[in-house]
């Protein structure tokens, strides 16, 4: 593959794994592989990427370098709708390899909010339109759009309060400055156990092994509701099919390893794995779904 870079991408909160200029498909990988992660070290996406990278290096007998590049991407199925112009087309310019993992959010409320169930929250929001607020890690983030999807499906109108990151949003929720949040599970669940927050439901289509007693929004109040942060692997369009197939085979095998499954679970994530075709179809469906949410809510990235 002369002069070409193959790239793998941990998508949804997008990360990109890029093998450096292999000379030919049958020699792949001839040089170290670069895994670009679009978020800071230590976060959920970074942990998932590094778990895959470590095992992949062992399997392909080549160095896999994780390269954290904040701001180089974001939610793959959302950004095309949030931004008027994109430097690339995520459908045309990227080739899917595999869906890697899915992480549900958890709907948590401050104990002062008089809602012990999702049904009570919806009833309260209908009785007090525009008075209940929800925090997020910023405009256009999965936490923001989960709240907008909730508004749309429940027929309510809550006030979005964006923060510059999940940590300050969660801090203000704990302090009672905001009333609820669709949070990732690892930072929120310890506060639920301590009684500082009340968890009402998870946003996945099925219950999470990390909190099996928590119902899903789909099962108790909003049929069809699903708002997960998903992660996947992509390469640049035009990458030889033999390389895509090799990467798919290796990474799917990694995702089935017990220690990888356990490590993902500790982050509230479920290890998955798919064919490239299945992942392509999933990206298309998610793009259409969130385009409607962005359009209906008027959400903008800032």
| pTM score of the predicted model | 0.82
In a domain, 163, yes or no: yes
pLDDT < 70 positions in the chain? 1-26, 70-74, 84, 301-302
CA distances from 34 to 22, 24, 255 (A): 12, 17, 19
Whether residue 260 sits in one domain with residue 196 = no
> CA quadruple 47, 240, 32, 76: dihedral positive or negative?
negative
Instruction: Give Cα 114 distance to the centre of its chain.
Output: 30
Q: How many CB atoms lie within 10 A of CB 67?
A: 15
Please check whether residues 159 and 182 belong to one and the same domain.
Answer: yes
CATH of residue 40: 3.40.190.150
Is 83 contained in some domain?
yes
Last residue in a domain, options 178, 201, 220: 220
pLDDT tens column, 173-208: 999 999 999 998 888 999 999 999 999 999 999 998
Task: Tell me how far apart the alpha carbons of residues 138 and 145 are, in angstroms, rounded to a whole number.
Answer: 10
Same domain membership, residue 207 and residue 125: yes
- Same-domain check for residues 209 and 239: no
Which of 186, 220, 254 terminates a domain? The answer is 220
- How confident is the model at residue 26, as a pLDDT? 61
Host domain of residue 209: 104-220
Same domain (yes/no): 109, 183: yes
Q: Residue 301 in contact with residue 137, Cβ under 8 Å? A: no
- CATH number, position 213: 3.40.190.10
Considering the domain architecture, whether residues 128 and 208 belong to the same structural domain is answered as yes
As for how many domains the chain has, the answer is 2
Name the domain boundary from 220, 240, 269: 220
* pLDDT for the residue numbered 10: 47
110 and 74 in a common domain: no
| 1 domain residue, yes or no | no
**Does the residue 38 lie in any domain?**
yes
């Amino acid at each position: 593959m002369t002069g070409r870079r193959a790239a793998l991408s941990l998508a949804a909160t997008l990360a990109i794994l890029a093998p450096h200029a292999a000379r030919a498909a049958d020699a792949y990988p001839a040089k170290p592989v670069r895994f670009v992660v679009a978020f800071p070290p230590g976060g959920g996406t970074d942990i998932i990427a590094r778990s895959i990278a470590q095992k992949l290096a062992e399997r392909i007998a080549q160095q896999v370098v994780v390269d954290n590049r904040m701001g180089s991407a974001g939610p793959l199925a959302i950004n095309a709708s949030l931004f008027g112009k994109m430097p690339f087309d995520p459908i045309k310019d990227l080739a899917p390899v595999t869906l890697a993992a899915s992480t549900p959010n958890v709907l948590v409320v401050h104990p002062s909010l008089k809602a012990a169930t999702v049904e009570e929250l919806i009833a309260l929001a209908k009785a007090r339109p525009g008075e209940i607020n929800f925090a997020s890690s910023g405009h256009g983030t999965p936490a923001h759009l989960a709240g907008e999807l909730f508004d749309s499906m429940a027929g309510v109108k809550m006030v979005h309060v964006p923060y510059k990151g999940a940590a300050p949003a969660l801090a203000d929720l704990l302090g009672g400055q905001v009333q609820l949040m669709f949070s990732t599970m690892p930072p929120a669940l310890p506060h639920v156990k301590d009684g500082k927050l009340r968890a009402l439901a998870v946003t996945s289509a099925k219950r999470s092994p990390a909190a099996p007693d928590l119902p899903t929004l789909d099962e108790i109040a909003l049929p069809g509701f699903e708002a997960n942060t998903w992660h996947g692997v992509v390469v640049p369009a035009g990458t030889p099919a033999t390389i895509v197939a090799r990467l798919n085979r290796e990474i799917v095998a990694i995702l089935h390893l017990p220690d990888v499954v356990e490590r993902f679970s500790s982050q509230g994530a479920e290890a998955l794995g798919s064919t490239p075709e299945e992942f392509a179809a999933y990206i298309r469906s998610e793009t259409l779904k969130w385009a409607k949410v962005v359009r209906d809510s008027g959400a903008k990235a800032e």
